Amino acid sequence: MSTSRPDSPCIALCSTALGDNVCRGCARTFAEISQWCFMGEDERERVWRSLPQRQRLLQLATACAVLLELDKLDGVEWARLPNGSHYRLDEHGNERLLLWRDAAGGRAQLPCRELALEQAAQWLLAQ
C-alpha cells in the first residue's frame, strides 16, 4: 500500500450507518468498511484501486436520483439501477464509454468523454 495514503479511505461522511450498501462518502461497501481492520495489505490495495471508478458511479447514481448498488457480473463490478439493469464506465485509451446492460441480454454504450453528468443520467434512465 502507498505510504502517502491515510490509513483508511473514510472521510467521515459515512452513509452506511443510514442503510446505504455503498458509502456516499468514501465509496466503500458496507462489507469493506466493516472488515477494513481485518483486511490484509493486498485486499486493502484492491479496495483503494476500486474507489475512483466507484466515485464516478456514485455521481451517476446521484444524478439518476438512486442509491448506488453494486453487482459483480462476469467478474467485473457494475452498478445496478432499480429496474434491474446495470451500468459501468469503461475507459479505453482516450475514450470513456458508459455501458448499459439488462437481464434479458440487451446492451448499449454511449461515448461520454465530453458528456455532462445529467445527460449521461438521462440516457441511462431512458434505456
CA distances 52 to 28, 56, 74, 103, 118, Å, are 11, 7, 20, 26, 19
Residues 55/23, Cβ–Cβ less than 8 Å: no
21-47 mean pLDDT? 93
Residue 64 has pLDDT above 80, yes or no: yes
pLDDT at residue 89 greater than cutoff 60? yes
User: How sure is the predictor about 15, in pLDDT bands with cuts at 50, 70 and 90?
Assistant: confident
Segment 31-50 mean pLDDT: 94
Per-residue model confidence (pLDDT) at position 90: 92
Predicted pLDDT at 3: 60
- Tell me the three state secondary structure of residue 53: helix
Distance separating alpha carbons of residues 14 and 114, to the nearest angstrom: 31
Closest Cα to residue 97, out of 79, 110, 83? 110
pTM: 0.87
